[in-house]
């Protein structure tokens, strides 16, 4: 299973909470149970936004598979969000995980074959629940 994680998910993953859905999503990626994909532009954004946590950025980079999208999209009003969709389409990711579902961001539930889901929605998917059971054993 392949997923692209919006930067907000990784920012939320740093918050202390035992029920942190974003942290669980990242743990699935870090463990290799879910393939996390990013492009160089996305990795740059992760580093910019999370620059105050260099060890966490290093963990993110290590967890990611890198793709190099060959197309530039302009379908999402908030222009930087297009980089995440480009990556999802180029990598064959089934899911784009984000909390930015408001108008102007990822305001559709899918773009072609890529489903847009929140962390909680991602964790509710039957296949993901099975993977989470393996992780938490």
Q: Name the residue ranges covered by the structural domains of the chain.
A: 2-136
Give pLDDT tens digits for 31-69.
Answer: 999 999 999 999 999 999 999 999 999 999 999 999 999
**For position 109, what pLDDT does the model report?**
73
Q: What number is the average pLDDT over the span 2-10?
A: 97
Averaged pLDDT, 9-23: 92
Q: Select from 3.40.50, 2.60.40, 1.10.3470, 2.40.10 the CATH code of 2-136.
A: 3.40.50
**pLDDT given for residue 76 in this prediction:** 81
Give pTM, 2 decimals: 0.92
Q: How much is the pLDDT for 112?
A: 85
Distance CA 137, CA 118 (A): 23
Residue 13 has pLDDT above 80, yes or no: yes
In whole angstroms, give the CA distance from residue 73 to residue 82: 6
* 113 in Cβ contact with 75 (< 8 Å): no
Q: Residue 103 above 80 pLDDT?
A: no
pLDDT at 132: 92
User: Based on the number of CB atoms within 10 Å of its own CB, is 77 exposed (0-12), middle (13-18) or buried (19 or more)?
Assistant: exposed
Where residue 106 falls among pLDDT bands split at 50, 70, 90?
Answer: low
- pLDDT above 90 (res 101): no
Query: Cβ–Cβ contacts within 10 Å for residue 95, how many?
Result: 22
């Amino acid at each position: 299973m392949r997923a692209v994680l919006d930067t907000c998910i990784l920012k939320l993953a740093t918050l202390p909470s035992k029920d942190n859905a974003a942290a669980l999503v990242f743990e699935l990626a870090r463990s290799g149970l879910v393939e996390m994909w990013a492009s160089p532009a996305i990795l740059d954004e992760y580093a910019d936004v999370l620059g105050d946590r260099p060890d966490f950025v290093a963990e993110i980079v290590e967890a990611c598979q890198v793709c190099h999208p060959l197309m530039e999209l302009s379908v999402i009003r908030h222009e930087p969000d297009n980089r995440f969709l480009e990556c999802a389409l180029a990598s064959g990711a089934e899911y784009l995980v984000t909390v930015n579902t408001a108008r102007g961001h990822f305001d559709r539930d899918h773009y072609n074959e890529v489903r847009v889901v929140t962390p909680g929605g991602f964790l509710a998917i039957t296949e993901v629940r099975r993977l989470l059971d393996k992780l938490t054993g």
